[in-house]
């Protein structure tokens, strides 16, 4: 069995593919798995590091502005896409995969289209509640489309073979909360707020927490991942406290989640998958510049089901926002209800189920 994964640019597009590939390796040890990506995306370093072959295809994304400069730039992007499609056709012909799996990002479009034009089985995996351009354009011709959110279904111009399978995500087990807090160097009995904004951090979240640091630690533990770019600045401004764990990046995410009663973070698809798989209540701050404002759609899917509250990025400095956050942190009954609602949205077996679907498609080849 040969499977070609097309997707990358960011970790949000790459890591679901990596999770599926890992499950395929377990289920079919002799499967030939390779990836297609670009030199500028995270896949250029991550895929070889993980031991998979990487095929490079130069392609650029469309500019989303409406200025004359953006329109002119898109003429070149379209020309590049035609060239990338030709390279993709040659790659599919040379590799002859049984299934091509697209997870989004610039490179997935030419690979999926090439495979579809050549009669190959294709599976599209969409991480967000508001599907990306590639998913919306190429879902119609896909053998199967797998969504992370039921809310995304209304954006797909296809009714057959569309499934809500969830997002492949890192797997964690919840530990005893007191033991986890001790492992994280925090007070064992205090309510704990976990804050993160991705590996690079989130400046607006960091600034808001910085301004409310004394208020938070007066009654709670704070486990705060600042991201590498903000760490030194914040470390110089924040006084030492037995109720604070300040790090640029959390290595032991299992302990961090287990220690927390409430999570304050962005509304990225991977984070939401982890939160729901663990049944964690959250306060979500959609990144306002995300493509298609997809993080707002992701957050809405949890908020509408009672699993999260939503805070606006530009209002984080408003005292009312943090008052609502801290009131929630100290309301165990409401947190419990939100946690139950969060777990109802979980798809903990998404990676395995998607791998099984890929195998079934390959067997139909």
Check residue 60 and give its pLDDT. Answer: 53
Mean pLDDT for 60-67 is: 48
CA distance 270 to 16: 8
How sure is the predictor about 70, in pLDDT bands with cuts at 50, 70 and 90? very low
User: Packing angle between helix 319-329 and helix 332-344, nearest 10 degrees?
Assistant: 90
Check residue 75 and give its pLDDT. Answer: 42
Sign for the pseudo-dihedral over CA of 273, 275, 278, 279: negative
pLDDT of 77 > 70? The answer is: no
Contact 5, 34 (CB under 8 A): yes
Check residue 251 and give its pLDDT. Answer: 87
CA distance 235 to 230: 9
pLDDT of 72 > 70? The answer is: no
114/229: higher pLDDT = 114
Contacts of 350 (CB under 8 A, 6+ apart): 19, 148, 165, 166, 167, 168, 169, 273
Check residue 318 and give its pLDDT. Answer: 87
How sure is the predictor about 317, in pLDDT bands with cuts at 50, 70 and 90? confident
pLDDT of 279 > 90? The answer is: yes
pLDDT of 305 > 70? The answer is: yes
230 CB burial (10 A radius; 0-12, 13-18, 19+): buried
CA distance 297 to 304: 10
Check residue 61 and give its pLDDT. Answer: 52
Percent of the chain with pLDDT over 70: 93
pLDDT of 62 > 60? The answer is: no
Least confident of 113-117, 221-225, 227-231, 307-311: 227-231
pLDDT of 280 > 50? The answer is: yes
Q: What tens digit of pLDDT does each residue of 227-261 get?
A: 988 999 999 999 999 999 999 999 899 999 999 99
Mean pLDDT for 318-347 is: 94
pTM for the structure as a whole? 0.84
pLDDT of 73 > 50? The answer is: no
Percent of the chain with pLDDT over 90: 72
Least confident of 101-110, 145-154, 252-261, 327-336: 101-110
Two structure tokens written together for 63:
């500019």
Q: Using H for helix, E for strand and C for coil, what is the string for the chain?
A: CEEEEEECCCHHHHHHHHHHHHHHHHHCCCCEEEEEECCCCCHHHHHHHCCCEEEECCCCCCCCCCCHHHHHHHHHHHHHHHHHHHHHHHHHHHHCCCEEEEEECCCHHHHHHHHHHCCCEEEEEECCCCCCHHHHHHCCCCCEEEECCHHHHHHCCCCCCEEECCCCCCCCCCCCHHHHHHHCCCCCCCCEEEECCCCCCCHHHHHHHHHCHHHHHCCCEEEEECCCCCHHHHHHHCCCCCCEEEECCCCCHHHHHHHCCEEEECCCHHHHHHHHHHCCCEEECCCCCCHHHHHHHHHHHHHCCCCEEECCHHHCCCHHHHHHHHHHHCCHHHHHHHHHHHHHCCCCCHHHHHHHHHHHHHHCC
Contact 321, 311 (CB under 8 A): yes
Check residue 158 and give its pLDDT. Answer: 87
pLDDT of 49 > 50? The answer is: yes
Question: Which residue shows structure tokens 């002799």?
Answer: 30
Average pLDDT of the chain to the nearest whole number = 90
Least confident of 49-53, 170-174, 303-307: 170-174
Mean pLDDT for 267-271 is: 92
Q: In the beta sheet, which residues pair with residue 145?
A: 124, 162
92/290: higher pLDDT = 92
Check residue 76 and give its pLDDT. Answer: 43
Check residue 218 and give its pLDDT. Answer: 95
Two structure tokens written together for 235:
């470390």
Mean pLDDT for 354-364 is: 95
Question: Which residue shows structure tokens 């470390």?
Answer: 235
80/259: higher pLDDT = 259
């Amino acid at each position: 069995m040969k499977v070609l994964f097309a997707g990358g640019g960011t970790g949000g597009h790459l890591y679901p593919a990596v999770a599926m590939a890992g499950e395929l390796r377990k289920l079919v040890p002799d499967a030939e798995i390779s990836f297609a990506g670009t030199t500028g995306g995270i896949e250029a370093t991550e895929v070889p590091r993980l031991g998979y072959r990487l095929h490079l295809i130069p392609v650029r994304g469309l500019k989303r502005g409406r200025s004359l400069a953006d329109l002119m730039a898109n003429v070149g992007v379209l020309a590049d896409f035609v060239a990338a499609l030709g390279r993709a056709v040659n790659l599919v012909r040379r590799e002859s995969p049984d299934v091509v799996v697209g997870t989004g990002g610039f490179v997935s479009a030419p690979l999926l289209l090439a495979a579809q034009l050549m009669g190959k089985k294709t599976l599209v995996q969409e991480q967000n509640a508001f599907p990306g351009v590639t998913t919306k354009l190429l879902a119609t011709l896909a053998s199967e489309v797998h969504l992370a959110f039921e809310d995304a279904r209304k954006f797909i111009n296809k009714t057959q073979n569309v499934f809500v399978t969830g997002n492949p995500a890192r797997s964690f087990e919840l530990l005893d909360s007191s033991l986890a807090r001790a492992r994280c160097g925090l007070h064992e009995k205090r309510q704990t707020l976990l804050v993160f904004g991705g590996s690079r951090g989130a400046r607006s979240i960091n600034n808001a927490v910085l301004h409310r640091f004394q208020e938070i630690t007066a009654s709670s533990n704070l486990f705060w991942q600042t991201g590498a770019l903000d760490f030194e600045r914040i470390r110089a401004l924040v006084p030492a406290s037995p109720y604070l764990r300040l790090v640029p990046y959390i290595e032991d995410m299992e302990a961090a989640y287990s220690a927390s009663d409430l999570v304050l973070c962005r509304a990225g698809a991977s984070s939401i998958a982890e939160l729901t798989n663990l049944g964690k209540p959250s306060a979500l701050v959609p990144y306002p510049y995300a493509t298609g404002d997809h993080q707002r759609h992701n957050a809405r899917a949890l908020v509408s089901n009672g699993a999260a509250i939503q805070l606006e990025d530009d209002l984080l400095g408003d005292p009312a926002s943090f008052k609502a956050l801290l009131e929630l942190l100290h309301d165990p009954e409401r947190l419990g209800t939100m946690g139950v609602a969060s777990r109802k949205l979980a798809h903990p077996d998404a990676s395995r189920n998607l791998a099984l679907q890929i195998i079934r498609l390959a067997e139909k080849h």
